[in-house]
């Protein structure tokens, strides 16, 4: 048993693909048409090439409620690890990304939180050596 | 709950973000959002989804405590669409939902989601969705029981991983 797939809900798959590849820097992995939507995944060039993140449509009202309530409460949907959180923060800010938390010392890690333009807050964390 | 590490960091996020104040004097909207600002943007998003008595964008900006300029910029940075685009998208989404349920005519749906002209609704719908509303209605219209979702409204990946469409795909191969 392995963890090789994680998924997040997005309000629009086209917009999500643009943000997750062009802004965050992930690469598209799979794009399989399924009805009105697609089985759409990205991978991280800096990470494990076989660990995929699925960008799932939030068309189901249950998904929308879950996503919007986490967002409203300021809670990130998931977290990505970075090597240099301050550099990423500056890089993403230049792309116009809105943060709800700047890089902050949280004990074992530095963390920051931004909006992914698809209805989620995402946490970045940098482990301390 | 998502997030790493769990628990305390989320609480810290709220405490920390409240310390920031927005600087209205600068030309650029602040890239750091307070939790209050986030809540105000969520409320603005809810307002933009309203189908009755649609408020002008300038009014919604005022309710969010921002100038229209800063409101549009900040909304787009957070939600990936301008308030105007978001409102149009929300109306089209609602139209798709109603059409797929199959209980309403295209004309009913057009007025229900707040369009005043059937022509402009059909044009816009066709441009965004790829097919005119009448085609969309025919394609997805299925008898739906109360409390169940038509297949068109269930995310594809859920169907892919479990559900009827998945079985169909597997049977096909």
Domains belonging to chain A, first-starting first, are 5-127 (3.10.180.10)
CA B85 centroid distance within chain: 10
Say if residue B66's pLDDT is above 50. yes
Whether residues B70 and B100 share a domain: the answer is: no
Whether residues B62 and B90 share a domain: the answer is: no
Choose the final residue of a domain: B48, B80, B112. Answer: B80
Give the pTM.
Answer: 0.79
How high is the pLDDT of residue A23? 97
Residues B99-124 pLDDT 10s? 988 788 999 999 988 888 999 999 99
Q: Is residue B64 part of a domain?
A: yes
B74 vs A: CB within 8 A: yes
Q: Is residue B32 part of a domain?
A: yes
Whether residues B64 and B95 share a domain: the answer is: no
Task: Please tell me the distance in Å from A110's CA to the nearest CA on chain B.
Answer: 10
State in Å, rounded, how far the first CA of chain A is from the last one: 29
Say what the ipTM of the complex is: 0.92
Whether residues B150 and B91 share a domain: the answer is: yes
Residue B121: strand, helix, or coil: helix
Choose the final residue of a domain: B80, B98, B133. Answer: B80
Two tokens, residue B62: 């005022």
Q: Tell me if B155 and A12 make a contact (CB, 8 A cut-off).
A: no
Whether residues B54 and B94 share a domain: the answer is: no
Spatial distance between the Cα atoms of B98 and B101, rounded to a whole number of angstroms? 5
Comparing CB atoms, the residue among B5, B14, B159 nearest residue A74 is: B14
Whether residues B63 and B38 share a domain: the answer is: yes
B13 vs A: CB within 8 A: yes
Choose the final residue of a domain: B59, B80, B101. Answer: B80
Q: How many domains does chain B have?
A: 2
The stretches of B50-161 forming alpha helices (DSSP H) are 57-63, 68-79, 83-101, 106-112, 118-129, 133-140, 156-161
Confidence of residue B142 (pLDDT cuts 50, 70, 90): low
Q: Which tops the pLDDT comparison, B96 or A80?
A: A80
CATH number at residue B101: 1.10.10.60
A103 vs B: CB within 8 A: no
CA distances for A52 relative to A27, B4, B133, angstroms: 10, 18, 35
Residues A11-30 pLDDT 10s? 999 999 999 999 999 999 99
Query: Which of B79, B4, B130 lies closest to A19, judged by CA?
Result: B79
Q: Which domain holds residue B98?
A: 85-172
Task: Please tell me the distance in Å from B118's CA to the nearest CA on chain A.
Answer: 24
- Decide the pairing of beta strands A99-105 and A78-81: unpaired
Q: Is residue B3 part of a domain?
A: no
Spatial distance between the Cα atoms of B99 and B96, rounded to a whole number of angstroms? 5
Q: Is residue B71 part of a domain?
A: yes
Comparing CB atoms, the residue among B5, B32, B154 nearest residue A99 is: B32
CA B114 centroid distance within chain: 15
Residues A73-85 pLDDT 10s? 999 999 999 999 9
Q: Tell me if B38 and A36 make a contact (CB, 8 A cut-off).
A: no
Q: Is residue B1 part of a domain?
A: no
B17 vs A: CB within 8 A: yes
Two tokens, residue A86: 């301050």
Q: Is residue B60 part of a domain?
A: yes
Task: Please tell me the distance in Å from B25's CA to the nearest CA on chain A.
Answer: 18
Say if residue B39's pLDDT is above 70. yes
Whether residues B98 and B165 share a domain: the answer is: yes
Residues of A in contact with B79 (CB under 8 A): 115, 117, 119
Two tokens, residue A91: 């890089």
A29 vs B: CB within 8 A: no
Whether residues B95 and B156 share a domain: the answer is: yes
Two tokens, residue A61: 């009202």
Q: Is residue B2 part of a domain?
A: no
């Amino acid at each position: 048993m392995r963890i090789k797939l994680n998924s997040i809900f997005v309000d629009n798959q086209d917009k999500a693909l643009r943000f997750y590849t062009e802004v965050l820097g992930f690469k598209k992995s799979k794009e399989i048409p399924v009805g009105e939507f697609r089985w759409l995944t990205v991978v991280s060039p800096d990470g494990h090439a076989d660990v995929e993140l699925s960008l799932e449509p939030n068309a189901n009202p249950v998904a929308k409620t879950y996503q919007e309530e986490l967002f409203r409460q300021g809670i990130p949907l998931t977290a990505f690890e970075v090597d240099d959180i301050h550099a990423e923060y500056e890089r993403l800010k230049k792309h116009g990304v809105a943060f709800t938390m700047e890089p902050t010392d949280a004990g074992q890690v530095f963390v920051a939180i931004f909006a992914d333009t698809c209805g989620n807050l995402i946490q970045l964390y940098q482990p301390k050596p | 709950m998502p997030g790493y590490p769990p628990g305390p960091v989320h609480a810290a996020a709220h405490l920390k973000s409240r310390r920031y104040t927005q600087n209205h004097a600068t030309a650029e909207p602040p890239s750091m959002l307070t939790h209050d600002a986030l809540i105000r943007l969520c409320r603005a998003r809810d307002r933009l989804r309203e189908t009755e008595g649609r408020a002008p964008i300038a009014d919604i900006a005022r309710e969010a405590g921002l100038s229209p300029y800063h409101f549009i910029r900040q909304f787009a940075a957070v939600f990936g669409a301008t308030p105007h685009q978001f409102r149009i998208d929300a109306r089209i989404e609602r139209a798709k939902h109603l059409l797929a349920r199959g209980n309403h005519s295209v004309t009913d749906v057009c007025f229900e989601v707040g369009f005043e002209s059937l022509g402009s609704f059909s044009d816009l719908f066709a441009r965004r969705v790829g097919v005119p509303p009448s085609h969309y209605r025919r394609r997805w219209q299925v008898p739906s029981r109360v409390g169940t979702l038509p297949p068109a409204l269930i995310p594809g990946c859920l169907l892919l991983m479990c559900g009827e469409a998945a079985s169909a795909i597997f049977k096909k191969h």
